[in-house]
Amino acid sequence: MNNMIYVKIKSLKTNETFETYLSIHFSLSENLNALNTLLEREIFSSNNIYVDASSGGILNPYSSLKKQNLYQGMMIHVY
C-alpha cells in the first residue's frame, strides 16, 4: 500500500523548512500498527509525524528515534 502525502518538513536544529510530496510505504504490518497507534492517539491530526527512514513508513513517535539517521531531528507536518 502506497500513499502520497503533502508535507512541510522543518528541521528542529536549523529551523529550515521545505514543502514536498512524501511517499509513505507500508510494507510491514508493524508500520500499519504504528499508523493505527498514531491515529488512535490523534497524533496524526495534530501534525506530529516522524518518518522512519529505514523502512519508509510512519514511525510511532513513542518509539526510539535514536536508531534513525536520515530524518532524525525532522518534524513532518501533514496538510
**pLDDT for the residue numbered 18:** 60
CB atoms within 10 A of CB 77: 14
C-alpha cell at 7: 508535507
Classified as helix, coil or strand, 32 is: helix
pLDDT tens digits along 6-62? 556 555 556 666 666 655 544 444 555 555 554 444 333 334 444 444 444 444 444
List of residues 6+ apart from 18 with CB closer than 8 A? 8, 9
E strand or H helix at 1, and its extent? none
C-alpha cell at 24: 509513505
